[in-house]
Amino acid sequence: MVESALKLERARYERSALVEWLTTVDHKKIGILYFWTSLAFLLIGGLLALLIRTQLIVPDNTFLGPQAYNEVFTMHGTIMIFLVVMPLNAAFFNFFVPLMIGARDVAFPRLNAFSYWAFLFGSLLLLSSFLFGAAPDGGWFGYANLTSSRLYSPGLNIDFWVMGLQVLGVATLASALNFFVTIVNMRAPGMSLMRMPVFVWMTLVTAVLILLAFPSLTVGLVMIMFDRYFGTNFFNPAAGGDPVIWQHLFWIFGHPEVYILILPPMGMISEILPTFSRKPLFGYTFVVFAGIVIAFLSFGVWAHHMFAVGLGPVPNAVFATTTMLIAIPTGVKIFNWLGTLWGGAIEMKTALLFAASFIAMFTIGGISGVMHASVPIDYWQTDSYFVVAHFHYVLFGGSLLAIFAAIYYWFPKMFGRMLDERLGKLHFWLTLIGFNLTFFPMHFLGVDGMPRRIYMYSAGMGWDLWNLVASIGAYLLGASTLLLFVNMLKTLRKPADAPADPWDGRTLEWSIPSPPPAHNFDVVPVVRGRDAFWIEKYGAEEVIGPAPERHGAEAGHNPQNPHNPGPGEGAGHDQAASHGAEHHGDSRIHLPPPSWFPLTTGAGLTLMGIGMVMHASDTLGSLGFPVVGLGIAMVVVSLLGWTFEPIHEEGHA
Amino acid sequence: MSDSTAVGHVPEAHHTTTGISHNKMLMWAFLASDCMFFGSLIWVYMVYRGRSLEGPYTQEILNIPYTSVSAAVLLLSSLAMVLALHGIQHGDMRRFRVWLGATAALGALFLGGQYFEFTEFYHHGLTLEQNLFGTTFFVLTGFHGTHVGIGIIWLVTLILMSLFGRLTPANAERVEVAGLYWHFVDIVWIVIFTLVYLIPY
Amino acid sequence: MQQERSVVERAHPGPATYVKVAVILAIVTVIEVATYYLVDYLQAALIPILLVLSAAKFVLVVGFYMHLKFDAPLLRGMFAWGMTVAIGITLAMLALYKI
């Protein structure tokens, strides 16, 4: 069984390395592609942040002009949200969700590859705007009618933004559909919903959020596109249109988006803290349900981004209430993480340090969030640096710190090498200090009345000191992030010698070699409780629920051999036989063959976006719609090829 | 995207945790998402109802008897679709092809009717740019029409596949998934027909 | 797995049921269109009547043609979740704009 899988693998690996990566449908390779791509974008987004802080380091600075400043802060926000945090989360979804649920791949491997390519090409479309001197300059929220009218935004800047985000949106939706089906439908025997690792749970919740939130953004962007290209009146006050409609559409997407960015990191924390405390997650059920409640409430709070718009006292009061409600499940999670650490045998590894600092930093961001849930306080704080401080505590102190923790935690599994702990700890301390130095003073600046998004301020406003401190902190933060890259590059030059289970882990990904083989599991594991691998290693004091039927009587665990902790060959064969009998009569492992069509479909989709941008340009306008047509043709031909491509060697499809 | 992913993976259907095939679950998840897509278009339409600053206004333009026939055509196509599915599920490929062809034809008839309706409105001075009604009406119904168009391409692909022996009663589920999409497009029209056409001002 | 499958896939109704549903749908559509000519009589009752009728058509198509009535509860839940959020947001927006 294993041998035949190896044979399949070898046949495939005869292709050149480049072709292999371009056509891969292996969720682990796609995860690694997501990983490096979004880390590269992290450097670009971080560089833009340093440009912002350089401009603001002293009053009356002329380092960046107003136009350049607008472009820099718009692209910083857009890149960090859509090109860094979301795809970094996706990198870990891709690599680890199938491993954690005991699956051999995702439900739709080619759709998964398509998501990556559409993400990459969409990002490049967005970033290419820099080459044409037309980077988006309308803020990441792109408020209409500044963005919807060519009168107010005549250049190609917003066109790049709209088209880039549309392509990214399609990629994200495809990926969410895929992970939803994978998690619901591809769990190993015994992996009931309430035995799933919390990271898998949060991925599932995030997928649902994406499915329901992104269409609102898509529709809003379509309307901006129609207003810009076809003269419609969606956001045109001269014809009775209401630009506030865009704000609703955007924030109906935008607030769930915040949870799309933070829930997966919360899941990562919920894996890392138990591992390094050597005890189970405290109140698993509460953590899971708190995540679900947050997701549910997130669709009822969007207008708290619009308190100052003037919706009236009743809507403001309603949305203030729902917003404050969200603090409850969030607080539940924080106490559960503290409860997990409490009394644990804590190992001070870099991953744990980042994870523990997440709790503290995220709590600060959460508290300032509850502050401006109150309408009168929000009137004071809105559009000030206080808000900038708040969401950086949530998105950097929250999402990114957790993602750093996850990098240190999972890097050995992904690349078979342990990251350097000494460099890692240096990275951690510099990050923590740099982060607080950058963003804590912004609370003071906001309270002192410094508005967001201004490119220059005068001396004598009392803002000089804290801006200087914030800028120094930002440089420190930039330097510390470089340390992470140094660490990773240094580590990758070492031989791959990481053990399968370096941290004495609790979940199934640690039961297989580092890095995992193409088929993941020699024998599909059978799950006997939460922390499935821990139970196999040490036995369970309390196995939750009955063991699954197929598990068989002889299913002893095998702590000596971390490569194969499965419940014994018997179970594996039973299961393979019960599934395979109808089709193949043997238990060969089927890995989907590589395919070019995901890449070409993604390219065709992006070509449509490129065509639309060209259509709006002065010089290439006439070529625009032909290029769109070419893109559509490319998508259709690719999809037909995709449909008719055999996906099993035997030509089953 | 959906039509490409809905095929293949047939053997996998027997491996799923819930017993529901991947393709079917993907389609239902997509439809749940599409609810929000049309939901957003519809609420924007509803909010802008009657807020056009200049004519032609809704009541001068909409032709209820004409659209009622269109709506009936689309409902009828849904009936043809389930009969086609019933055909392939019971191994009757001829019945399958006839009814699926009828479904696609009725869909095309609906689209033709929409094309005629749109040109008619243009002649009456209602354009995308004219007023809020034109803007919201054409974009909402246009996106619905695009969905119908994609559905027709999908159905025709299925018929072609069956003619070349690439679609057999063993893959009846592919037809079922295509059918889910088709019926969804139909129910969206049920909602649009009521909210856009029937409810008076 | 065998047991689960039998739970999931209950028998779908046959062509006779499908045609019956189509007839009901046709009748409801005729009633809907008829209301258009009876605006003066129905007045305030018109909009509720139309909403109920279209909801009935919606449920019939989803329940029988998309056989959600006979399908796995999970699928019902997924679709219901999407519909709930979409309807909830639509109602909220209509309330905000006082329609």
Of A477, A492, A507, the residue at which a domain comes to its end is: A492
More confident residue, A485 or A586: A485
CB contacts, 8 Å: C89 with chain A: 216, 252, 299
Average pLDDT, chain A: 89
Give yes or no: residues A81 and A219 share one domain: yes
Interface contact flag, B40 A231, Cβ < 8 Å: no
ipTM of the complex: 0.91
Supply the pLDDT for residue A544.
46
- In a shared domain, residues A486 and A609: no
Comparing CB atoms, the residue among B17, B36, B40 nearest residue A186 is B17
Q: Per the domain annotation, does C6 fall within a domain?
A: yes
pLDDT interval class at A650 (50, 70, 90): very low
Dihedral angle computed from the Cα positions of residues A564, A568, A571 and A572, in that order, rounded to the nearest 10 degrees: 30
- Residue of chain A nearest C97, judged by CA positions: A311
How sure is the predictor about A560, in pLDDT bands with cuts at 50, 70 and 90? Answer: very low
Q: How many residues does chain C have?
A: 99
CB contact under 8 A, B36 and A215: yes
Q: Does A185 touch chain C (CB under 8 A)?
A: no
Q: Is A640 on the interface with B (CB under 8 A)?
A: yes
**B 64-83: CB under 8 A from C:** 64-65, 68, 71-72, 75-76, 78-79, 81-83
User: Encoding tokens for residue A389?
Assistant: 């401080």
Q: How far C82 CA sits from the closest chain A CA (Å)?
A: 7
The answer to whether A573 and A524 have CB atoms below 8 angstroms apart is: no
The answer, for C20 touching chain B at a CB cutoff of 8 Å, is no
Q: What pLDDT sits at residue B10? A: 37
Mean pLDDT of A345-349: 92
Amino acid at A300: G
Note whether residue A515 is domain-resident: no
Beta-bridge partners for A451:
A384
d(CA A535, CA A542): 9
Q: What is the mean pLDDT of residues A171-176?
A: 97
Q: How many domains does chain C have?
A: 1
Compute CA distances C63 → A72, B148, C17, C18, whole Å.
51, 21, 12, 11
Given a contact cutoff of 8 angstroms between Cβ atoms, the answer to whether A459 and A60 are in contact is: yes
Q: What is the mean pLDDT of residues A124-142?
A: 95
Distance in Å, alpha carbon of A278 to nearest chain B alpha carbon: 30
Q: Find out whether A194 and A544 touch, Cβ atoms under 8 Å.
A: yes
- For chain B, the residue count is 201
Q: How far apart are the first and last CA of chain C?
A: 51
Q: Check B194 against C51: CB less than 8 A apart.
A: yes
- pLDDT cut 70: percent of chain A above it: 89
Would residue A429 count as lying in a domain? Answer: yes
Contact A234/B47, CB-based, under 8 Å?
Answer: no
Whether A300 contacts chain C with CB within 8 A: yes
What is the average pLDDT across A91-105? 94
- Mean of pLDDT values over A490-500: 92
Does residue A362 sit within a domain? yes
Report the range of poorest mean pLDDT among A58-72, A430-444, A518-532. A518-532
Task: Write out chain C residues lying below 8 Å of A299, CB-based.
Answer: 85, 88-89
Task: Identify the residue among A299, A302, A304 best suited for mutation to test binding to C, counting C beta carbons within 10 A and taking the highest.
Answer: A299
Output the CA angle A465-A469-A474, nearest 5 degrees. Answer: 145
Residue A607: domain span: 603-644
- Domain boundary, last residue among A449, A470, A492: A492
> Does C89 reach chain A within 8 Å, measured CB to CB?
yes
Contact yes or no for A212 and C96 at CB 8 A? no
Q: Which of C26, C58, C65 is facing B72, going by the closest CB pair? A: C26
Instruction: Mutate one of B15, B21, B30, B35 to test the C interface: name it (highest C CB count within 10 A).
Output: B35
* C54 touching B (Cβ < 8 Å): yes
Residues A563/A500, Cβ–Cβ less than 8 Å:
yes
**Domain assignment present for C7:** yes
Task: Look at A185 and B17 and tell me if their CB atoms are within 8 Å.
Answer: yes
Q: What is the CATH number of the domain that holds A306?
A: 1.20.210.10
Closest chain B residue by Cα to residue C27: B72
Q: Are B141 and B114 in contact (CB under 8 A)?
A: yes
Question: Lowest mean pLDDT: which of A124-128, A559-563, C70-74?
Answer: A559-563
**Same domain, yes or no: A295 and A427:** yes
List Cβ neighbours of A29 (8 Å cut-off, separation of 6 or more). A21
With beta carbons under 8 A apart, name residues in chain A contacting C82. 211-212
Q: Assess C16–B contact: CB distance below 8 Å, yes or no.
A: no
Q: What is the count of structural domains for chain A?
A: 2
Answer whether B53 sits within 8 Å of A240, measured CB to CB: yes
Quickly count: other Cβ atoms within 10 Å of residue A374's Cβ: 16
Same domain, A207 and A343: yes
Assigned token pair, B1: 């995207």
To test the contact with chain A by mutation, choose from C78, C85, C94 the residue with the greatest count of A C-beta atoms within 10 A, namely C85
Whether C22 is in a domain gets the answer: yes
End residue of a domain, out of A472, A492, A512: A492
Q: Is residue C19 part of a domain?
A: yes
Given an 8 Å threshold on Cβ–Cβ distance, is A300 in contact with C81?
no
**How many Cα atoms within 13 Å fall on the side-chain side of residue B59?**
6
Minimum distance, in Å, between the CA of residue A211 and any CA atom of chain B? 5
**Residue A502 belongs to a domain:** no
Mutate to test the interface with C, among A173, A180, A186, A208 (most CBs of C within 10 A): A208
CA distance B40 to chain A (A): 6
Give the pLDDT band (50/70/90) at residue A564.
very low
pLDDT below 70 — which residues of chain B? 1-15, 201
The nearest CA of chain C is from the CA of B33 a distance in Å of: 6
What would the 3-class secondary structure string for chain C be? CHHHHHHHCCCCCCHHHHHHHHHHHHHHHHHHHHHHHCHHHHHHHHHHHHHHHHHHHHHHHHHHHCCHHHCCHHHHHHHHHHHHHHHHHHHHHHHHCCC
User: What is the per-residue pLDDT for C42?
Assistant: 75
Residue A6 Cα distances to A147, A365, A496, A621, angstroms: 54, 49, 20, 52
Rounded-to-integer distance, Cα A263 and Cα A397, Å: 14
Cis preceding linkage at B200, omega within 30 = no
Distance CA A514, CA A498 (A): 6
Contact C75 B64 (CB under 8 A): no
CB contact under 8 A, C82 and B36: yes
- Which residues in chain B are closer than 8 Å to A213, comparing Cβ atoms? 36
Burial class (CB in 10 A: 0-12, 13-18, 19+), C14: exposed
pLDDT of residue A379: 92
Shortest distance, CA A151 to any CA of chain B (angstroms): 15
- Contact between chains at B7 and A579 (C-beta distance less than 8 A): no
- According to the model, what pLDDT value does residue A258 have? 94
- Asked whether residue C79 is assigned to any structural domain, the reply reads no
Under the banding of pLDDT at 50, 70 and 90, the label for residue A8 is low
Read off the pTM.
0.90
Residues of B whose CB is below 8 A from A108: 5, 9, 22, 26
pLDDT of C4 above 50? no
Domains and CATH numbers, chain B: 37-198 (1.20.120.80)
Q: Which amino acid is residue B184, in one-letter code?
A: F
Chain A (596-615) residues lying within 8 Å, Cβ to Cβ, of chain B: 601
- Can you give the pLDDT at residue A335? 96
More confident residue, C2 or C58: C58
| Interface touch C8/B20, C-beta < 8 Å | yes
pLDDT of res. A407: 97
Nearest to B153 by CA among B80, B103, B84, B92: B103
pLDDT value at residue A244: 95
Q: Please give the distance of CA C12 from its chain centroid, rounded to a whole number.
A: 18
Give the residue-averaged pLDDT of A309-322: 93
Residue A356 has pLDDT above 80, yes or no: yes
The beta-carbon neighbor of A248 closest among C1, C85, C93 is C93
pLDDT for A557 beyond 50: no
Taking the mean position of all CA atoms in its chain, how far away is CA A609? 23
Is pLDDT of A302 > 60? Answer: yes
Residue type, B1: M
**Cis peptide upstream of residue B56 (ω within 30 degrees of 0):** yes
- Please give the average per-residue pLDDT across A345-356, as a whole number: 94
pLDDT tens, residue by residue, C14-65: 888 999 999 999 999 999 888 888 877 777 888 899 999 999 999 999 999 9
In a domain, C84, yes or no: no
Residue A608 has pLDDT above 50, yes or no: yes
Tokens 């039973």: give the residue. Answer: A574
Interface of A with B in 100-129 (CB under 8 A): 107-108, 110-111, 114
Residues of B in contact with C93 (CB under 8 A): 43, 46-47
**What is the pLDDT at residue A574?**
36
- Give the range of the structural domain holding residue C42, as residue numbers without chain letter: 2-71
